[in-house]
Each structure stands twice: as C-alpha cells, then as structure tokens.
Amino acid sequence: MRTRAFSVCSVLAASIFALPLMLAACGGDDGPPDDEAFATLQDCFDDHHSGTEGLSVTEAITVCCIDHPINGIAPSCGNTQTDCEDHVDAELDTASATADEISDACADYLIKK
C-alpha cells in the first residue's frame, strides 16, 4: 500500500511541477493583444517605430494596421494592397516611410490580418 501511495504522490508532484512548463509552451504571448487605440496611423507608427518598442518601419505599420484601432477602425488598412498603400501613404508623414517600405508592410499586413 505504501508503494502505491508513493507512486500516486510522485505522479502528482511531477504533474504540479510540469504544469507551468506545459502552460508556457502553449501560451505564446505574455498577455492579451495590445489593442490601444490611436487617433491617427501616424500616432501609432510613432509610438511603435520611434517609441520604446523600436520596431522597423514595416513591423510598425503592420502592427498598427492589425492590432490597434485607428480612429475607431481595426484592422484599419483596407482589404487590398492598393487600399492599404493608399491609406498608409496618405496617413504617414512623407519622411516616415518609403514607397517600398509601405508596399512591404501592406503585403505583410494582408498576409497576417
């Protein structure tokens, strides 16, 4: 009987110690998606590209288009490559991104949205 009780306790102890590892492996992110709203795409871009995150131009545009409501709309960069490029080009200052960076970001956005 003692052996059976020891076996049961061993299995429970192993499960308790393994549970956090299993949950971490399945988790992915450390929390809920970042869905902070911004009034403009430029505000969001500046926060993610020039701010503390320091994302690349392409990453910042993609994140803003997908994860953040811009003027109450999310995802905010349209449904086609042309819609996205026109929207981003109109919303960002000319010094913020090149045409190639915007094109790359919009392609990434359409894949990930």
**pLDDT number for residue 53:** 85
Q: What is the pTM of this model?
A: 0.70
The gap from C-alpha 60 to its chain's centroid, in whole angstroms, comes to: 10
Let me know if residue 52 belongs to a domain: yes
Task: Please answer whether residues 65 and 50 qualify as being in contact, where contact means their C-beta atoms are separated by less than 8 angstroms.
Answer: no
What are the angstrom distances between the C-alpha of 44 and each of 25, 75, 107?
30, 13, 19
- Read off the amino acid at residue 65: C
On whether residue 31 sits in a domain, the answer given is no
* pLDDT of res. 21: 40
For residue 35, being part of any structural domain is answered with no
Contact 71, 40 (CB under 8 A): yes
Give a yes or no: residue 65 inside a domain: yes
Q: Is residue 92 part of a domain?
A: yes
The answer as to whether 73 is a domain residue is: yes
Domain that holds residue 78: 41-112
Based on DSSP, count helices (H) and strands (E) in the chain, helices before strands: 5, 0
pLDDT for res 35:
83
Q: What averages of pLDDT result for each successive group of 10 residues across the chain (113 residues)?
A: 49 43 41 76 95 92 96 95 98 95 98 94
Distance between CA atoms of residues 91 and 79, nearest Å: 16
Instruction: Please give the pLDDT value at position 51.
Output: 80
What does the pLDDT read at residue 28?
41
Q: Would 20 be classed as within a structural domain?
A: no
From the list 71, 60, 68, 52, the residue with the least C-alpha distance to 97 is: 60
Q: How many of the other CB atoms lie within 10 Å of CB of 53?
A: 12
> What is the tally of structural domains in the chain?
1
